[in-house]
Amino acid sequence: MKRIVLLGPPGAGKGTQADVICEKYSVPHVSTGNILREAVSNKTPLGVKAKTFMDAGNLVPDDLVIDLIRERLTKEDCEKSGFLLDGFPRTIDQAVALDKLLEEISRPLTHVVDIDVSDEILIERIAGRAQEGSGRSDDNAEVAANRLKVYHEQTAPVSAHYKEAGNLSEVDGTGSVEEVSTRILNIINS
């Protein structure tokens, strides 16, 4: 059974790659971004709290996302089929909380894959996505730049956390979607 964390900066293609992997291994795709966007559009208490952070490209407070992940990962589908986490953990405190939760339920991660893309390429991609109008309210140039800054300050250290734990696999995120998914699938197959 696969229990995967997919790491990488905004614009690295995590969502697209997550879809490929989840289809191939029939694991639930757990995206905190998707769950939060749904909460915002349904105006749930969580959505109301999260919206201003998301619109500015800032991280939603740890306790909110940790609670939602705890709830999601202990659902039957994840217990039965594993999971792929996309967009979580995004801070060291989230990574530590995840370690603790998975230890509690005796379900350690099987793979942590970090998609590596240079800032130069990311900025080009993000600008393109903003211009095409992805429909995401956090996809304009200014907010995208902040998302990248937040990534470097708060999320990049998460990779080091897993590197220290000895289970980080780094993947070159440049090239076509297929090239990148082949690299990722090679790791997950092993």
Does residue 90 bind ligand AMP (CB under 6 A)? Answer: yes
Question: Locate tokens 């350690």: which residue?
Answer: 108
Residue 90 among the catalytic residues: yes
Residue 183 among the catalytic residues: no
DSSP for 81-129 reads H-EEEES---SHHHHHHHHHHHHHTT---SEEEEEE--HHHHHHHHHHH
Does residue 39 bind ligand AMP (CB under 6 A)? Answer: no
Looking from the CA of 112 toward its CB, the CA atoms found within 13 Å total 20
Residue 14 among the catalytic residues: yes
Does residue 173 bind ligand AMP (CB under 6 A)? Answer: no
Residue 70 among the catalytic residues: no
- Across the strands, what pairs with 169? 113
Nearer to ligand AMP by Cβ, of 58 and 81: the residue is: 58
Name the residue type at position 186.
Answer: N
The 10 Å CB-count burial string (b at 16+, else e) for 90-104 is bbeebbebbbeeeee
Does residue 57 bind ligand AMP (CB under 6 A)? Answer: yes
> Shortest distance, CB of residue 19 to ligand AMP, whole angstroms?
13
Q: Does residue 60 contact residue 150 with C-beta atoms inside 8 Å?
A: no
Q: Which of 2, 136, 163, 183 is catalytic?
A: 136
Does residue 32 bind ligand AMP (CB under 6 A)? Answer: yes
Where does this chain bind ligand AMP (CB under 6 A)?
A: 10, 32-33, 36, 53-54, 57-60, 65, 87-88, 90, 94, 138, 147
Catalytic center residues: 14, 90, 129, 136, 147
